[in-house]
Each structure stands twice: as structure tokens, then as C-alpha cells.
Amino acid sequence: MPRPTIPLDELIAYLFGPESSTLAAEVSRWLFASARFRAFAETYRDKIRKKARGVRDDEGRRDLAFELAIASRLVEERRFVIEYESYGVGHRGPDFRVTFRSRLRFNVEVRRMRRPAPMPGAPADPTPLIRAVCDKLGQLPPSMINLLVLGADGPSSAAEALPGAMLWLQDRAARKDEALFRDRGFAGVRDFLRQYQRLSAAAWVSGESGPPRATLWRNPQARHPLPADLARALSTTLLAQTA
């Protein structure tokens, strides 16, 4: 990871404009706290600037903040080399391409769940998780390890719901529920399974309020399974507390 070279106040102004904003304040904390994330932001400053200027509402701001929060965690793992939107802005490709130990490449796609989290103690509704997974499968390249990172603002019981949601999808496919998968945008069960095998693992990340938490689920049907050493590195990295 190259060293930062741009004065921090100039970098923040370039990324987010001269006027202060909630997004600028949030990301600035991570830039101050981490030289590695600051170097990442310098390298991809034009992409971040374009996305920040394209934010239209508070939900869009939170989506971008979550995406950059995941980047701020990934870059702290020194065995990772992170590329941001290497498939091109506006293309249906993963957000990050990562090289592990200089030899193993994998993709990371990020999705913030906009639905409000359930009240403490209430069971999580798996429907938003199922919808998010189905929406994202088409963005995963077939020839590499792919990780889908999901999350929401604040803590959520969806962390516990993630494995169950994935098993529910597998069960519906085993039962040949053609109508369900057509309703989710697939041609049918066979099309779903073809795309589902591209997903090596899914993670739920929370911790903006309270201690960081991460749940990592590994897909037993993946064409490119997540190796154990990479799974350990990701679990530790995704648990990193953003400043």
C-alpha cells in the first residue's frame, strides 16, 4: 500500500467538496485514524469523488458510507491488496477485487440493507436478506471466489438470520420451487443454482453502535470454496472496529 502524499484537508475537500457534510465527517474519522485507508482513498480519489457527488439522499449517503467502511476494514489486513471497482464504474461487477498473499484473488460485493432493524429481542425477518442475496448473485463473476458482505445501520439480529436464510434458499431449490425463483428474477431453479454456485461466502457485518460483530457463512455448494486461511483472515478483518 503506497504512503499518503496529499494533505488530509485537501484530500477531504477534493472527495466531498468545500462544504461540510455528514458523509465527509464520517469518512474523515477513518482517514485520520488509518494511514492505509488514507492511501486507499488517495489512490481511488476520483472514483470516490464521483460517487460522493452522485449521492442524492440520506439513504444513498449511508450506502456509500457502508461501502467505504468495509474498505476501511479490508485495507487493514496487510496480506490483502485492494482494488476498487476494477470492473468499471457503472458495470454490474463486485465493488472490490482483493489479492490475498500475492497469489489468491477474490471479489467482495457490498450491500447495505435499508430496511430498519428489528427491535431488540425480536426475531429477524429473513425476507430482506433473501431478496438481497438473489439481487446480487448476477454481479458475481463465475471464475473466482466471491464474498457478499451485508449489513445495516446499528446492531441487528439479522446476523443470526443469515445462515438460516441461505439454507432456506437451498431448501426451496431442492424442492424445485420454480415459481419462487422466477419471482426473484431467475429463469427458474436451474438458473438460480448456476448463479448461486458463484457465491463462495456471505458475511453480515454490524457494529456501528456497540462492539463490532461479524457472521461469516461459507457456501457448501460453491464452485470456488473459501479456503480456511482466507476465511480466518476475513473474519478477523470484518470484526475490525471503524474509528
Q: Which three cell numbers stand for residue 184?
A: 426473484
In the 8-state DSSP scheme, what is residue 56?
Answer: -
3-state secondary structure of 172: helix
Q: Which three cell numbers stand for residue 132?
A: 438481497
Distance CA(232)–CA(214), nearest Å, equals 12
Phi and psi torsions of 145, nearest 5°: -65, 135
Q: What is the pLDDT of residue 122?
A: 45
Specify whether the CB–CB gap between 45 and 77 falls below 8 A.
no
Confidence of residue 69 (pLDDT cuts 50, 70, 90): very high
Q: Which three cell numbers stand for residue 240?
A: 475490525
**More confident: 242 or 187:** 187
**C-alpha distances in angstroms, 160 versus 45, 124, 151, 204, 232?**
36, 8, 12, 9, 19
Q: What is the pLDDT of residue 214?
A: 75
Domain coordinates in residue numbering, the chain: 80-238
Q: Which three cell numbers stand for residue 170?
A: 437451498
Per DSSP, what are the bridge partners of residue 204? 150, 215
Collect all residues with Cβ–Cβ distance below 8 Å to 145 and sequence separation of at least 6.
104, 105, 106, 107, 200, 222, 224, 225, 226, 230
Specify whether the CB–CB gap between 92 and 133 falls below 8 A.
no
Place of cell 464452485: 223
Distance CA(145)–CA(159), nearest Å, equals 22
Res. 91: pLDDT tops 70: no
H or E, element range at 9: helix 8-16
Distance CA(89)–CA(190), nearest Å, equals 30
Res. 88: pLDDT tops 80: no
Residue-wise pLDDT for 23-43, tens only, equals 999 999 999 999 999 999 999
Q: What is the pLDDT of residue 111?
A: 94
